[in-house]
Structure 1
Amino acid sequence: MIDETEPLVVRDRSDLDTGRNPFLITLGEHVRALRARRGLTRKATALASGVSERHLANLESGVGNASILVLLQVTQALQCTLAELIGDVTTSSPEWLLIRELLETKDEATLRKVRLAIGEMLGTGGQSPQRSSRIALIGLRGAGKSTLGRLLANDLGFPFIELSREIEKFAGCSVAEIQSLYGMNAYRRYERRALEETLQIYSEGVFATPGGLVSEPSTFNLLLSYCTTVWLQASPEDHMKRVIAQGDLRPMSANPEAMQDLKDILAGRQAFYSKAEFHVNTSGQPLDQTFQILRRTVRAVVNPRVPASVE
């Protein structure tokens, strides 16, 4: 049972009519709709969830501030997910729900096949010739995307494009200024628009992408659909060492836990970086040897403008 010793804050009538929080209003509508779909009365839902009818009435009316524990208990009573209760798009129609049910127990390899098949069906890139002539290097800062990207572009006879510079051209200011002045959400919008424009302009090229691009699913999907992707991997120590060697001391400035933060970021993004078609480790060998590994990997799938020289 939920502890209800503290009274719920209920607004006055005018507040109910004009000032209710849109999220809470929508949440209440979802609860009522799901309860109706399950054929449950409010009393029955209250009994099944251990939440009082008064609490449920406030929840369905869009007033009060329902805690996450209350919502979890309601989901158990309604036999739905928390995502369905709060209105995630993948729960917005019967077809979405049926697709979710088909996929929710599948492993990563199967889900990847489904994603690629959907991409083919929807015409979002597939295995077109242009896709194989666009090489996108992904990975955290300090992986070697700029250095190796320039070498690879010269070797293939392709243009080299740093997406961060394209973002700055698009926004008319630096990446740091975009983030400080307008926030991360605005930066992600500029990142998406810059990628779209870059894909329209360049039918072939080597693209060095920002490390955090993979954290925005729609942008990452676009990259995966229209580019051959290579994850440049490196150890956390090499990432840090290379960034500092570039003259950027900010990672260590007033942050004794910088290395642990970096490891956490890598761990959080690893599953996304691993979606790249090819993985090249840039740690543990000299630059020239790393480049030769990257060169062989890419030339196996790309039609370069410059023929391979005899090594």
Structure 2
Amino acid sequence: MKQTAAMQPVEPADHDTAPDDAREARDPFLVGMGERVRLLRARRGLTRKALAKEADVSERYLANLESGVGNASVLFLRQLTKALNCTLAEIVGDETTSSADWLRIRELLYGRDHDTLKRARVALEEMLATAPQDPNRRNRIALIGLRGAGKSTLGRMLADELKMPFVELNRVIEQLAGCPPAEIHALYGASAYRRYEHRALEAVIAEHPRAVIASPGGLVSEPTTLNALLAHCFTVWLQATPEEHMRRVIAQGDLRPMSGNKEAMDDLKRILEGRGEFYGRADMTFDTSGKPLAECYLSLRDRLAARIASE
């Protein structure tokens, strides 16, 4: 892995091994920056190792940065912004201090509860919207959530009963790229995969005025793609506990979540926490934990019909 001389870190102590007085002496700015990088990484479902590889930086340097002891160079941060598909402002500071209007908006929103913030967001979206509402929006049902939530199983059942096409967005991505999503990541990186993901969603929306769509778990971490999904589909967040997610994935025969990673459950919880607000933008949430399949499907079907009818 290549690094320029400007990017070579002074090797401070690791987060877990640093003495107590060193942890207490950390600069609050560096601590805050490390927390923002961890949150951005969790939202995109990237392990520290995967982000280091994508950004072509030292994993140890990244670990120090996330621990609040890494005095990162600008070049290093620029590489992270490319890999995380975010702005430098999101990593190093708060852009809402850049003007008087930003400050006033922030004051108005500060401390408000989730429901109030959601109403404010919806009002802003309606005020600033330039495109007419998609008349087929309620006829496209998009299921979002982490792997193991039941998107494919419940999606197929819904599509069969509603006599709609069932579309797995991962399959469309594979058709567009000519290779599976894992190979896109390995060959071209996460940024290329995100571009294929957005193109695939656009293709499905253009082709299917009616459909049940199962979306990849990380789609919500890309604002442009998520906004397109919400604008053109009635979106349902299929929730489950971290333990249920893990159990279902392993039951499908995929042991990778547990392979060589003793902190798999902690990683999963961080991903859920990081993406929770984005999943929460869905039109409806439905918890699939602890329910037999038949009961789960019937409850989802009935609630979905009632919600769409009330729109």
| TM-score for both structures, normalised by structure 2 | 0.64
| Aligned partner letter, 2:145 | G
Shifted more, 199-208 versus 101-110: the winner is 101-110
Q: What aligned pairs does 1:120-269 form with structure 2 within 5 A after superposition?
A: 120-123=126-129, 128-269=134-275
| Aligned partner letter, 2:265 | M
Shifted more, 88-97 versus 238-247: the winner is 88-97
| Aligned partner letter, 1:145 | K
Equivalent residue number for residue 33 of structure 2: none
Equivalent residue number for residue 25 of structure 1: none
Equivalent residue number for residue 287 of structure 1: 293
**Does the CA contact (< 8 Å) of 1:130 and 1:204 recur in 2?**
yes
1:237–1:202 Cα change, 3 Å: same
Q: Which of 265, 271, 282 is matched with 2:277 structurally? A: 271
Q: Greater Rg, structure 1 or structure 2? A: 1
CA distance in 2, matches of 1:203, 1:168: 21
**Does the CA contact (< 8 Å) of 1:229 and 1:276 recur in 2?**
yes
Q: Which runs of 5+ in 1 are unaligned?
A: 1-8, 10-64, 69-81, 304-311
| Aligned partner letter, 1:208 | A
Equivalent residue number for residue 306 of structure 2: 300
**Does the CA contact (< 8 Å) of 1:236 and 1:262 recur in 2?**
yes
CA distance in 1, matches of 2:167, 2:95: 34
Q: Which runs of 5+ in 2 are unaligned?
A: 1-5, 7-70, 75-87
Instruction: Note the alpha carbon deviations across 1:169-227, whole angstroms, 9 max, x for none.
Output: 11111100011111111111111121122111111211101111111122112112221
1:197–1:85 Cα change, 3 Å: closer
CA distance in 1, matches of 2:170, 2:90: 36
User: Equivalent residue of 2:256, what SS?
Assistant: coil
Q: CA deviation at 1:107?
A: 3.7
User: Equivalent residue of 1:293, what SS?
Assistant: helix
**Does the CA contact (< 8 Å) of 2:134 and 2:231 recur in 1?**
no
CA distance in 2, matches of 1:162, 1:230: 15
Instruction: Note the alpha carbon deviations across 1:62-81, whole angstroms, 9 max, x for none.
Output: xxx9989xxxxxxxxxxxxx
| TM-score for both structures, normalised by structure 1 | 0.64
Q: CA deviation at 1:117?
A: 2.6
| Aligned partner letter, 1:256 | K
Aligned residues: 227
Q: CA deviation at 1:105?
A: 5.1
User: Equivalent residue of 2:257, what SS?
Assistant: coil
Q: CA deviation at 1:160?
A: 0.7
**Does the CA contact (< 8 Å) of 2:148 and 2:244 recur in 1?**
yes
CA-atom RMSD in angstroms: 3.0
Q: CA deviation at 1:295?
A: 0.4
**Does the CA contact (< 8 Å) of 2:139 and 2:209 recur in 1?**
yes
